[in-house]
Structure 1
Amino acid sequence: MPKEHIRKRGKRKTKASDEPPLQPTTHVSEPEPSVSTGIHPARAAMLAGQSIPVQAHSSPQDAQLEDSEREGKDENQWIRGPRVESEFPFGVLDPDVKAYFKSIEEQIKDWEGVSSAGEEREDRQNFLSSVLSELRGHELSAATDPETSIILERLMPSLSDWGRRVIGDSFGDKWEELIRHRFGSHVVQTWMTLAADTLDRESKGIWPPQQAKQDPMAGRLPTMTSLFSSIISILLPAIHRLISSPYASPPLRLLLLILTPRRILPALGTERSENEGLIRSKKSDKWRKNQDVKGKSILGDDQSTAQSSNRALPEDLRLYRKEIRQALMEGLGEAEWKAMGVDAVGSPTVQLILEFEVDEGDAEKQGSLFDILTEGIVTQICSNDQSVFEARPYLLSLIMTQTGTRLSECILSLAPQKVFDAIWSTYFEGKLGKLAGHPYANFVVAKGVSRLQLGKIEKLIEEVLGNSGGRGLIKAARTSVVQALVDRSLVLTDSQRAVFDLIKSCLELPHDKHAFLVPCLMVLKTFPMYQSILTGEKATSPEPAEGNMEDDDVQAEASFAAAARLSAWQNRRSAKPKDDLAPNMQGCLILQAMVGMEQVNEILLESLLSLPIDSIIAYAKSPIASHLLDKVFLERSVPPKYKKKMMMMFMKSYKELVEDRLGSRVMDTIWEQADGYMKEKIARSLIPFVTELGGSQYGKFFIRRADIVLLNRRPDEWREKVLSVRHHFAHQKEASTPFVGLRDDITKRKKEKHEKDEIDELFDSVDTRKKRRIQN
């Protein structure tokens, strides 16, 4: 090989070193940090509420000159200035104070709702005083901090009326900024809920001890009534803008509820309560549940009146609710009200305003919110216009959309009777067959059914039967209209037979197959589908969709199906294999309501009794179906003979019932409703299993309650104790008791005479000999 072809060792040169770097052909405007604060100029302008500056394009030569000029500047210019952001409108909380609050959070969690007395209570009061002293001066920054705001919420229930007033006074005139804030709005909600108790006591003339010790020269702490007056005066000018804010709207809705006397307020803890959906969203409830917010005092002396319907309101605040409503009506136009009605944030507010209009008697006036949302129906009624009402697109959109159904239900439930009749005849009659099976409109129809009279209920049933006999309601599991009809028939008893015929038609149940009523409705399957599942045959194909279905219905069905798929995807990890014949909640609720239908409940009860005992025991062990059995035993309209038959069916299975977690609850219901004879019969059937049930997790409680051991040993005492029944010979035994005691005394004396020792007998014999000698 030639020498020049031999590869020499050495480091290879990279291609990058050979090729010169490419220069950009066009200038790229890159973001530049601010020289003074270290924040980009666009962000600094946005935080300051100014317009965003537009950077002028410069040539590469100018950029090089600017870079050379910056090199000579101070090296410390990269340090950021003071942090002022919208997330911290009152400044960043002091790190030491923040660390202190985080350190005491676990202690507050341990003491929440736990009672205290003596020295322990005094220790907790001292702890509370030290925490409040650390909080002083940092109330606003602590309320808007993402970590300390929840700690402040935990602390507030422990404050007295005086402490709540101090906190409210420390917020000053910053209420608008607070309720706009993501975390501050929740602190305001908690404070307002607790302040309602203070307002109730102030209206009754109950004041804290510090009220009489105030020094007028040093200043007086505002009362809670004056604090609320100042809050309303601060928020009133901007309330029409705040009401649609996602953070400010819930505190304002709570304020409206507080200004309504005798109105129950939402609970502070994780438990659900009335009006909860009007204030907090599901997302907020879930977050508070994860944080384990109990809303209890660390002193353990909660005496809240917020959950009471007797909550009072000071006279000075009674007119503010109407003033707020008038300010909203003046500040918002018709288009804005309609937009709020279909908005997830604004819809609860609209529902509250509608309720207040009805309370104050303004619902039937022209220009009212009812008139705006019904698009002139109230005006047409007030003007005595006899023309036919025309359907308008807005109310139709409310009925057909997911966010609008809540407002539609509110309108139907609160509307005056004339307005309701006009809405029902215009928007519902003639379309009920399709609306009853609509994924969203069926809930609106169900709400309207609760106000219908007998004639309109019969028309509704005819329309539903005209739409494929109503079997689509069962196949699609949209039973809210059927449930509402059953509930309404309990009031209008003359409609019970027609409602029952509708249910049979929906189930496709033949007239001679009434025995399958309970099993078909319990699993929410039509009779042919139920039979096909039992036999293992292929189910009949579902009914094809109507060719003339409107686009709105197609879109609604598509969105509903998409939501169902999303929910299934989210719950895929916890999904369990589906049982086609498992009890269904909707079907069980209908059955429970049908038990109270006096005219037709015997058919249902006969169907239930015709089931094999294994099926009924399976119902008793089900968390869903067990409620049907409870309803059968507790409902007054059920004839007593059916209750006794049901009890006798369980006679050989009470042991299995008692040992189950849910079956034992059904057993308790049976025991409460059984008479004395049946109780003894049930108890005697369990005597052979006393030992086994004594070791059962659930059976041992019933053994103690029924006192089976006493029945086995002393039946008479068991009857007196458990049944409060005395034996018919008991009075004779009591009467003969003294004579028995007298005989015992006589016998005892005779025994004492005969029972003598040997010495006594010896001396007795000596005495008798002496007597004989003397006589001789």
Structure 2
Amino acid sequence: MPRENQKRGRRAEQKAQKQDAKRGYEETSDAPSAKRMKPDTDADADIDANQALEPFAENADYIPLDFEADDQQEEVNQEGSGDGIFFGLLDTEESEYFSRANEMLEANQFADAEEKNLFIESVYQEANGKELKIACSQGCSRLMEKLISMSDIRQIRRVFSKFIGHFLHLVQHRFASHCCETLFIHAAPAVMAKTPTSQQKQSNQEDEDAEPELSLADMFMTVIEELEGNWGYLLTERFASHTIRVLLLVLAGEPVDVVSNDSVVASRKKERLTLPGADIQEDKMPPKKRSVPESFAPALKKIMNDMVSGLDNTYLRALASHPVGNPVLQVMLFLELSHFGKSSAKDPNSILRRLVPDESFEEGTESATFIRGLLYDPVGSRLVETMVRYMPGKVFKNLYKNNICERIGSLSRNSTAGYVVLRTLERLGKDDLQDAMNLIITEVPGLIERTRLIVPRVLIERCVIRKVDTKPFAKALENAYDKDPSIRLKQMLKLDETAEDDREDQIMQDAGDEERGDERKRGGGGKSSVSSAEKLHGSLLAQAMLTVSGPLSELVYSSLLAQSSETIIKLSKEPTSSRVLQQALTLPTSTTQFRRQFTTRFQGHIIELALDNSGSHVVDSLWTATKDIFFVKERMAQELFQNEMTLRDSFLGRAVWRNWSMDLYKRRRNEWKDKAKGIERQPEGESNGARPKSKIELAAERYAAKQAEAASAK
């Protein structure tokens, strides 16, 4: 007799028990509500009919199928917050195609620009009618951003037209909001362009592919109309706020910077989608203000008024510490003070006057209390930075005199308020900067000990610009570091790390983590990341000191001369410290005596450094450093020449070989010597340094002279 087909093992038994328990729960839960009482009287029927027209009562017997009410609710959702709008999903084949297209754009292995443009156009044809699906897709929204960033004006207008009518939902979408942001940024340069004339349609194009009739300026005005009435809500919406910031800057014609760390457009967590070869020239150009249509100015002013008009002063000040609303408030305050003129700050309804109604900032006033409450707030201090940078001079002087001047030393100690001190130092005159330096000097030992080096660095830079004497500050730095020059440089660049110091630092870190709720462990930041940041700030401070002639730069130069050759080679191979060596070799404060003593430390290690990523830059700097020390340069060139094949086998080595003109050294030694000494030899027979004429040119001149003589004889 055949056996019964049964599953074996504990997993099968557990699964069967779970199914039985689930089945029993469903039977018990459905039993009481399985029966429904039938109305017996006409009164009950009338009550049920009224329930169909009135809002549903709790525990109602049934829910009527009212399609008209559902349609009205859907229209409200579409016109309101955008909830419930669904554009559909891409099928498997479409997702695979767009994923491959994304990979091809990242690889950037196109033969030329024409082939790349044809590929982008083919992707647009495939995405026709699916733009909203792609923008809302988690996997394909990045492709839409890349396509927009690489599109021409015609393609941008086409995508813009497909988004029109849905911006209220798109700007609030987690993925589509980034597509809207990219679209606004790349459409901004062409807002002044006229609408192109309608082109003849190709035979294989459909009506949907027709060129949009609206210009980009009209499209932006359409976006404003779609978002009308929702500005107050979008101000603090998680995903819409960064898109709103971009829109405000575009309407004002201001450059939109999403790469800088100081940018208020995007957070530091924003994913940077970069493509090789995309906008290379534009990234190198400094951002500049763009011209915009005349209709943008009143529209921008109306948007800003609508955002804050419905908020009372208490709620507006609360936005200063709101993590989402604060960046938008920064942009509006910046535009109010820079775009509409600082005279707008006198308006009692302006954002600045509503935040700080008392321009005197005297002790006990509402403005002074508000500012002091934000100085130590990680979010609110950024708004104070914007105020300090752009507020009118008279208002800034009152703010500095009553709230910052006497406390600038203690504020510089704080990791949050220190950034407000930086913006303050940028606006101080020579006398005020001298007084501020005297107050900060007393805090220098504590700043050096806790590696709060950004305030000393900026103070040095501002003193150079304002021509303030830095000798007292150099004395304070000398007392803060070790007297031994060899140890001083290691302290500056964080190179002296002993095992005992490591253990003490670990104990201090553990204690600090317990006090702060183990924030550093949760953030994933370990000792390696902290030490790299400390090395970077130490290197920047040393570079700033090298730019000042006198005691400040002498502290670094004397420390460099006190190091051994092994330490110098080690410094040359580290990315942060190698920058200090490059500046020490090339800056005008570097004397010939220093370079004569210092450059000899590199002899015998040139090849080792030339093959290193950071050391190769130091070798390039040695070419400039030895311009007046020819015998040192010649010895280094001989060392490079003896290892020619080793250098040619390396990418970094070939760069060093080219920068040192070693081909000229190999073939025409005399010309290389002249170039190494900075001598421009004039060719024989030429007194003005012009290029000697060829035989053909000389013959042509003789022929022209004969023709002129013959013509004159006639």
Bigger CA drift: 353-362 or 721-730? 721-730
Q: TM-score, normalised by structure 1?
A: 0.67
- The counterpart of 1:402, out of the listed 378, 381, 387, is 378
Once residues 625 and 445 of structure 1 are traced to their aligned partners in structure 2, the CA distance between those partners, rounded to angstroms, is: 27
Counterpart of 1:309 in structure 2 is 288
Q: CA deviation at 1:122?
A: 7.9
Q: Which amino acid is 2:99 matched to?
A: E
Residues 658-690 of structure 1 show CA distances to partners (whole Å, capped at 9, x for unaligned) of: 243311111012213432724324213445545
CA distance in 2 between counterparts of 1:240 and 1:213 reads 43
Aligned to 2:492: 521
In structure 2, what is the equivalent of residue 284 of structure 1? 270
Aligned partner (choices 255, 259, 262) of residue 264 of structure 1: 255
Measured at CA, do residues 703 and 348 of structure 1 come closer, stay the same or move farther in structure 2, by a change above 3 Å? same
Alignment pair present for 1:368 and 2:346: no
Q: Does the 8 Å CA contact 1:253/1:279 hold for their aligned counterparts? A: yes
Identify the residue that residue 613 of structure 1 maps to in structure 2.
565
Paired with 1:660 and 1:219, the residues of 2 have a C-alpha distance of 54
Q: Which residue of 1 aligns with 2:467?
A: 493
Listed as ranges, the matches of 1:591-606 within 5 Å are 591-600=542-551, 601-606=553-558
How far 1:609 sits from its partner (Å)? 1.6
Secondary structure, counterpart of 1:370 in structure 2: helix
Contact kept, 8 Å, 1:683 with 1:708, in 2: the verdict is yes
Q: Distance in 2 between matches of 1:694 and 1:219?
A: 54
Shift, 1:345, TM fit: 0.9
Summarize the alignment of residues 577-726 of structure 1 with structure 2, pairs less than 5 Å apart.
584-600=535-551, 601-675=553-627, 677=630, 678-690=632-644, 693=647, 698-703=652-657, 705-706=659-660, 708=662, 711=665, 715-716=669-670, 718-719=672-673
**Residue 345 of structure 2 aligns to a residue in which SS?**
coil
1:302-330 CA-partner distances (Å, limit 9, x unpaired): 98999852633223323322222222232
Asked if the contact 1:354/1:363 (under 8 Å) is kept, the reply is no
Residue 324 of structure 2 aligns with which residue? 345
CA contact (8 A) 2:134 2:140 kept: yes
State the 1:363 CA deviation.
2.3
User: Equivalents in 2 of 1:180, 1:579: separation in Å?
Assistant: 39
Q: Is the 8 A contact 1:447 1:484 kept in 2?
A: no
Paired letter, 2:267: S
Aligned amino acid, residue 651 of structure 1: Q
Match among 231, 248, 254 for residue 223 of structure 2:
231
Q: 1:53 to 1:647 in 2, by over 3 A?
A: farther
Aligned partner of 1:377 in structure 2 is 358
Listed as ranges, the matches of 1:31-42 within 5 Å are: none
Question: Residue 363 of structure 1: SS of its match in structure 2?
Answer: helix
Partner of 2:337: 358
Structure 2: distance between partners of 1:624 and 1:659: 17
Tell me, yes or no, if structure 1 residue 109 matches structure 2 residue 138.
no
**Code of the aligned partner of 2:673:** R
**Equivalent residue for 1:480, pick from 435, 446, 454:** 454
Is the CA contact 1:88–1:145 (under 8 Å) kept in the aligned structure 2?
Answer: no
* Stretch moving more, 169-178 or 437-446: 169-178
**1:171 counterpart residue number:** 163
For residues 41-52 of structure 1, the aligned pairs below 5 Å read none
The 2-side partners of 1:607 and 1:398 are apart by 41
Residues 429-440 of structure 1 aligned to structure 2 (within 5 Å): 429-440=405-416
Q: Which has the larger radius of gyration?
A: 1
Residue 417 of structure 1 and its aligned partner are, at CA, apart by 1.9
Is this contact kept in 2: 1:489–1:597, CA < 8 A? no
Deviates more, 1:188-197 or 1:389-398: 389-398
**Number of equivalences:** 611
CA offset digits 1:167-205 (Å, max 9, x no partner): 3333343322221222232221122122213314x1xx4
AA aligned to 2:101 is: Q
Alpha carbons 1:347, 1:407 under 8 Å: kept: yes
Residues 707/595 of structure 1: CA separation in 2 closer, same or farther (3 Å cut): closer
In structure 2, what residue type is equivalent to 1:504?
Answer: E
For 1:661 and 1:612, locate their aligned partners in 2 and report how far apart those are by CA, in whole Å. Answer: 21
* 1:210 pairs with 2:201: no
CA distance in 1, matches of 2:466, 2:514: 33
Q: What CA RMSD, in Å, does the superposition of the two structures yield over aligned residues? A: 4.7
The superposition leaves residues 632-667 of structure 1 with CA deviations (integer Å, 9 ceiling, x where unpaired) of 223223334333432233234434332433111110
Give distance in 2, aligned partners of 1:709 and 1:295.
Answer: 32
- Residue 123 of structure 1: CA displacement? 5.2
Which whole-Å CA distance do the structure 2 matches of 1:251 and 1:708 have between them? 53
- 2-structure distance, mates of 1:474, 1:620: 24
Please state how far the C-alpha of 1:590 moved relative to its aligned partner: 0.8
Q: 1:493 to 1:615 in 2, by over 3 A?
A: farther
Over 3 Å counting, the alpha-carbon distance change for 1:595 and 1:144 in structure 2 is same
Per-residue deviation, residues 721-751 of structure 1 (Å, max 9, x unmatched): 76676999999xxxxxxxxxxxxxxxxxxxx
Residue equivalent to 1:567: 520
Matched, 1:89 2:106: no
Give the structure-2-normalised TM-score: 0.73
Give the CA deviation at 1:163.
3.5
CA pair 645-366 structure 1, distance change in 2 beyond 3 A: farther
Contact kept? 2:135, 2:144, Cα under 8 Å: yes
Q: Deviations over 1:581-634 (max 9, x none)?
A: x98221211110011112322343223222222222221111111111111223
SS of match in other structure, 1:294: coil
Q: Is the 8 A contact 1:93 1:145 kept in 2?
A: no
